């Protein structure tokens, strides 16, 4: 079968980084192409090139044999290429219909006035076509994430009303905010739409990619390193290619899990906070990693936020390195040597517009002060040192944090707390949104910290990670600790036992 879209030798450079090096892919008619790779492998950049958001620095794009030059997403739309974004791209204060036809109002405009009734009817038809029942006059903010995703898909498909060729729909991690049932619905739609459009599907979850795609491209370091027919490859094989190392072999660095020291760094007795949790007893010793497992609403998030200083406890007592404390804000917690590594790096972890150097020194500026003034040379040397030690991939200490990949941003957060001399770290989903390779680097770092005697409290998305990293696992349910498991190397509890205590 001949290609519909052909990208060959695509090159895209950003300051200090070559994001795409000679990438070639093709998409055939009525086909779903999967695109996988670690964070920073270049998947998103490639998608943006295909969607007209980025102009490539080299290479060529052809569509049905014709040379394609796109200067904007609008140009791409004119050629029948639509994108469903990872970060949802709906304007929440507008209605469903208004979103679907945002930018296309001219089709419903006569004498300068927009005919909303006609627009609503068209939107209703469009949603009916993909078999979805959503009120088109509802405000988008009132919809669930899954419904919004469907609206986005409908919006991308409106292109077929104006473009005289088969559509190419780019799905950039559409499943990251969906639950399993919604993912099935989305996949069913994509399969039924294959007769009318081709798709490029990007996801972190390999099993999903294999389930929906006809062919799969694997990217690594800005290049395509493999292509397979989906039927002829398994998830572990793809993983091997993607990361270039085995999955289970020493994944959590268990051999480096040392016995904790004797000093108790965090001690909680009968801790409770306004109904979120109660009667929590907790001990974390220097060099120990304590994981808390529990479902949403179990109270584990609140316990970590209490230790980080974001939530004040109102019952029981807490001692940090022997001193009785009750934090009203994170600032005294930081002064007590507690570093909080949040799940939302973008919102809470880093000041994205500041450089790596400025972010690292943020929690303890005195480390780079001399005679009461900031010593910029010292600040940069400090940052350069961390970049080397933690293998942070960045052009240099002056690079803005917003330009780094997720894993590298996380390393900067950790570097900051180490600079501030934190003896206690609260890791709140430390590997969320990171790819496998970046996760392993974070695990390596966590082991380093633990070996240096840092006490660590961990909550994580997966039980496997909680069990794999921790010395001790606590299980919480309905605001109480329901079980405690020893998790020494070789004596790790199994997931089923934990689950039994969780629900």
| Residues that bind other proteins in the complex, under the rule CB under 8 A | 53, 73-74, 77, 85, 89-94, 98-99, 102-106, 109, 112-117, 155, 347
Minimum gap (Å) between residue 173 Cβ and other proteins: 16
342-373 b/e with 16+ CB inside 10 Å = b? bbebeeebbeeeebbbbbbbebbeeebeeeee
User: Looking at beta carbons only, is 100 or 404 nearer to other proteins?
Assistant: 100
289-293 and 223-229 beta bridge pairing: unpaired
Q: Which residues pair with 426 in a beta bridge?
A: 340, 457
Structure tokens at 114: 């927009």
C-alpha to C-alpha distance for 6 and 28, rounded to whole angstroms: 9
Provide the minimum distance between the beta carbon of 120 and other proteins in the complex, in angstroms, as a whole number: 9
CA-nearest of 7, 157, 2, 3 to 68 is 7
If the CB atoms of residues 51 and 392 are measured against other proteins, the closer one turns out to be: 51
Asked if 102 and 144 touch (Cβ cutoff 8 Å), the reply is no
Q: Closest separation between CB of residue 340 and other proteins, Å?
A: 16
User: Within 10 Å of residue 443's Cβ, how many Cβ atoms?
Assistant: 21
Q: Shortest Cβ distance from residue 268 to other proteins (Å)?
A: 27
Please state the closest distance from residue 305 (CB atom) to other proteins, in A.
15
Burial class (CB in 10 A: 0-12, 13-18, 19+), 388: exposed
Of the pair 79, 285, the CB lying nearest other proteins is at: 79
Which one, 88 or 367, has the nearer CB to other proteins? 88
Nearer to other proteins, 81 or 209 (CB): 81
116 vs 251, beta carbon nearer other proteins = 116
DSSP SS3 for 380: helix
Cβ(253)–Cβ(443) under 8 Å? yes
State the nearest-atom distance from the C-beta of 90 to other proteins, in Å: 6
Contacts 24+ apart (CB under 8 A), 62-70: 62/3, 62/5, 62/6, 62/8, 63/4, 63/5, 63/6, 63/168, 64/4, 64/165, 68/5
Return the number of the residue (73 or 489) whose C-beta is nearest other proteins: 73
Q: How far is the CB of 93 from other proteins (least distance, A)?
A: 4
Q: What is the DSSP letter of 355?
A: B
């Amino acid at each position: 079968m001949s290609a519909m879209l052909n990208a060959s030798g695509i090159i895209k450079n950003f300051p200090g980084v070559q994001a795409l090096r000679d990438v070639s892919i093709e998409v055939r008619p009525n086909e779903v192409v999967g695109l996988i790779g670690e964070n920073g492998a270049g998947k998103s950049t490639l998608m943006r090139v295909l969607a007209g958001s980025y102009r490539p620095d080299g290479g060529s794009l052809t569509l049905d044999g014709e040379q394609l030059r796109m200067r904007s997403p609008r140009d791409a739309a004119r050629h029948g290429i639509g994108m469903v974004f990872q970060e949802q791209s709906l304007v929440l204060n507008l209605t469903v219909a208004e979103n679907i036809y945002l930018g296309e109002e001219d089709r419903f405009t006569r004498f300068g006035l927009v005919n909303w009734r006609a627009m609503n009817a068209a939107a209703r038809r469009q949603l009916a076509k993909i078999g979805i029942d959503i009120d088109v006059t509802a405000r988008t903010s009132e919809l669930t994430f899954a419904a919004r995703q469907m609206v986005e898909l409908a919006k991308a498909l409106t292109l077929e009303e104006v473009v005289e060729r088969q559509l190419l729909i780019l799905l950039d991690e559409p499943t990251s905010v969906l639950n399993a049932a919604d993912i099935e619905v989305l996949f069913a739609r994509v399969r039924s739409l294959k007769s009318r459009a081709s798709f490029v599907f990007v996801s972190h979850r390999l099993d999903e990619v294999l389930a929906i795609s006809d062919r799969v491209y694997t990217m690594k370091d800005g290049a395509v390193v493999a292509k397979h027919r989906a039927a002829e490859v398994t998830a572990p094989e793809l993983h091997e290619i993607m990361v270039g190392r085995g999955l289970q072999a020493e994944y959590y660095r268990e051999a480096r899990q040392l016995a904790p020291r004797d000093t108790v760094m965090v001690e909680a007795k009968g801790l409770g906070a306004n109904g979120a949790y109660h009667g929590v007893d907790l001990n974390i010793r220097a060099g120990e990693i304590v994981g808390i497992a529990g479902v949403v609403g179990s109270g584990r998030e609140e316990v970590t936020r209490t230790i980080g200083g974001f939530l004040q406890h109102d019952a029981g007592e807490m001692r940090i390195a022997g001193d009785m404390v009750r934090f009203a804000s994170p600032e005294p917690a930081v002064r007590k040597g507690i570093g909080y590594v949040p799940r939302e790096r973008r919102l809470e972890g880093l000041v994205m517009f500041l450089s790596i150097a400025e972010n690292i020194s943020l929690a303890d500026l005195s480390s780079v002060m001399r005679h009461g003034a900031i010593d910029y040379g010292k600040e940069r040397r400090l940052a350069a040192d961390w970049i080397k030690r933690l293998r942070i991939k960045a052009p240099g200490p002056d690079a803005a944090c917003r330009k780094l990949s997720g894993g590298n941003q996380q390393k900067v957060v950790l570097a900051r707390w180490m600079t501030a001399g934190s003896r206690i770290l609260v890791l709140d989903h430390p590997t969320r949104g990171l790819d496998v390779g970046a996760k392993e680097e974070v695990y390596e770092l966590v082991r380093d910290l633990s070996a240096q005697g840092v006490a660590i409290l961990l909550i994580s998305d997966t039980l496997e990670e909680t069990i794999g990293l921790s010395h001790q696992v606590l299980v919480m349910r309905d605001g109480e600790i329901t079980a405690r498991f020893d998790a020494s190397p070789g004596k790790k509890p199994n997931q089923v036992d934990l689950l039994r205590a969780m629900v």
